[in-house]
Amino acid sequence: MAMFVPAIVLFVIGTEIRVRTEEKLLEERFGEEFREYKAQVRAYIPFVA
């Protein structure tokens, strides 16, 4: 249990880095189309409004 909190923290940090990296690549590739999509969809749980 002592390692649970640090593991969650590392998971969240890693996920944030991955999401930002992927969003940058998608924005470079798809431009305005991706920016419109991003404005409507959440990054972590897309199907939850």
Domain assignment of residue 18, yes or no: yes
Specify if 48 maps to a domain: no
Residue 8 lies inside a defined structural domain of this protein: yes
pTM of the model: 0.72
The answer to whether 38 touches 23, Cβ cutoff 8 Å, is: yes
Whether residue 33 is contained in a domain is answered as yes
Q: Does the residue 15 lie in any domain? A: yes
- One-character DSSP codes across 1-49: -TTHHHHHHHHHHHHHHHHHHHHHHHHHHHTHHHHHHHHHS-SS-TT--
* Amino acid present at 17: I
Distance of alpha carbon 19 from alpha carbon 23, whole angstroms: 6
Q: Which of 18, 16, 38 is nearest to 27 (CA)?
A: 38
Q: Per residue in 1-49, pLDDT tens?
A: 789 999 999 998 998 999 899 999 999 999 999 999 999 887 777 666 5
Task: Note down the domain range covering 25.
Answer: 4-40
20 within a domain of the structure (yes/no): yes
Number of domains in the chain: 1
